[in-house]
Structure 1
């Protein structure tokens, strides 16, 4: 009886090991290729300041801006103006200080049921569609899906995710940029800096290696993510 149990245990361990190897192989092969981003026909365009349709760019195009700000928004018609006013005020002042600085703000309306797109479009009309663009999704994709859509439609060398609720002070993006720059030289010219408001009382920066070989930096005071591109 004992030898039989031992054989069954060995067989079970072997099968478990084989299953683990198979899962690892499948995970590796599927993770090496990013799944295609599905867009509905209406999601391939944005409206310029005159209300005319223009084709959205692709992240695979050469960057033409220093900074892209992606703002995922779902039913944010009331809170979005506060965040946009602060963000654009900062970005415009920064551009006046440094004329070489260029930016864009991409508001991704994640299938909102309120007037989020209409509110965001007013900023497009005020600042121009080269600086502010609104992507209106046909249906709700969730925050991750909205961020992904914005990132894949961005033109910046660096990409910042900013929440529509304005929970963090937008000028603190400079601390996030410093955290990103401190990581240089970047592996494969790519890096990610992550910020958390949980570190308000700790004047420290935590750095962690990512599984794909990049680095994550976590500066204080920021609740956003900045991606280095190119």
Structure 2
């Protein structure tokens, strides 16, 4: 009888201990959730940062020295076929090559097909060097109807520069591309063909995005083990938290219909490296069709990406993108004043 009582007492102690541990763990989880929610609530800017100053609303014609207004919304009707947006920060050395190749390609297309109309918008993202002057040199050569310089008052980040540029265009289709000429400009035709397969109507939202996934095996062999770990970790986080079904979210060569650009860039919040992920996350949430297209790409020296620090920033942004939309701190509804 004494042995039975001892066993019962021991059983009760063990189960009480387990219950206590579970209660403590549950309480800790609730506290952690509340702390996280309060942190996000107090640090989240609810509205996308689409506001611009007066100086960011105009471009200058270097020939006449007069200033003209950018279209301040892409909700208006297009007047051109294709708009290209190139964000540039400290790109005085790489920008001339990219613009030279791009303008040559666009001019040749227009000569063979006069109905092909285009513009290039270079967005100087608060560069302290001669990036603006390099862009102005091309404006002087081709005229501000074909190439324009958008000067941001301060550095917004690549996502912020792309947003401001894509909300200042006249084209039916909007392509944003990097200033380093890493992607062959001739591949714009591949994106056009892919977008044609989705829609030829600029008022229908759709995206065709460049992809380097077919180059992954070669890139993996050339990268260090540590960098491969970071890369695979980032891709896993993108898949788990935000975007599924897209092999390469970060290629800086994406084409959108005017409707897609109008909606996505007025909803997007992220200004830094992870902006591509948020853009595609919003597109998928809104059921916009996305076509991924293999493009020719090469590594160009002078990248602004700092491997470890940039990956950590992007990982943090991925988590916050998912949490802020899940908690309703960010929404997928356009303000009436911006969608009218």
TM-score range, shorter chain: 0.7 to 0.9
* CA shift for structure 1 position 121: 0.8
* Partner residue, 1:216: 290
Identify which of 69, 76, 89 aligns with 1:55.
Answer: 69
The answer to which structure has the higher helix fraction is: 2
Q: Structure 2: how far apart are the matches of 1:150 and 1:181?
A: 23
TM-score, normalised by the number of residues in structure 2: 0.54
User: In the superposition, relative to structure 1, how do residues 182 and 113 fare at CA in structure 2: closer, same or farther (>3 Å)?
Assistant: same
Q: 1:120 aligned to 2:194?
A: no
Task: Please say if residues 173 and 222 of structure 1, whose CA atoms lie closer than 8 Å, have aligned partners that are also in contact.
Answer: no
Give per-residue Cα distances to partners, 1:6-43, cap 9 Å, x unaligned: 99999999x89xx9xx9xxx9xxx9xx97361112211
SS at match of 1:46: strand
Report the equivalent of 2:100.
85
Partner Cα distance (1:188, 1:8) in 2: 55
**Residue 149 of structure 1 corresponds to which residue in structure 2?**
164
For normalisation by structure 1, the TM-score amounts to: 0.78
Structure 2 counterparts to residues 56-71 of structure 1, below 5 A: 56-58=70-72, 59-71=74-86
In the TM superposition, residue 44 of structure 1 has moved relative to its aligned partner by 1.2
Higher strand share: 1
* Counterpart contact for 2:173–2:202, Cα < 8 Å: no
SS at match of 2:160: helix
Helix, strand or coil for the counterpart of 1:77? Answer: coil
Give unpaired runs (5+ residues) of structure 2. 1-15, 218-243, 247-282, 298-340
1:197 counterpart (212, 236, 247):
212
Moved over 3 A (4+): 1-13, 33-36, 184-188, 206-209
Distance change (3 Å), C-alpha of 1:60 and 1:222: farther
Which of 179, 191, 197 does residue 176 from structure 1 map onto? 191
3-state secondary structure, aligned to 2:198: coil
Contact 1:65 1:156 in 2 (8 A): yes
Matched, 1:41 2:54: yes
8 Å CA contact 1:110, 1:137 repeated in 2: yes
Instruction: Give the conservation status (yes or no) of the 8 Å contact 1:187–1:213.
Output: no
Structure 1: give runs of 5+ residues left out of the alignment: 224-230
What SS does structure 2 have at the residue aligned with 1:210? Answer: helix
> Cα gap change, 1:4/1:79 in structure 2, threshold over 3 Å: closer, same or farther?
closer
2:121 corresponds to 1:103:
no
**Structure 2: how far apart are the matches of 1:80 and 1:187?**
29
Deviation at 1:51, TM superposition (A): 2.2
Q: Which residue of 2 aligns with 1:133?
A: 148
Partners of 2:157 and 2:138 lie apart in 1 by 24
Aligned-partner Cα distance in 1 for 2:52–2:202: 31
For 1:93 and 1:79, the matched residues in 2 are separated by 22
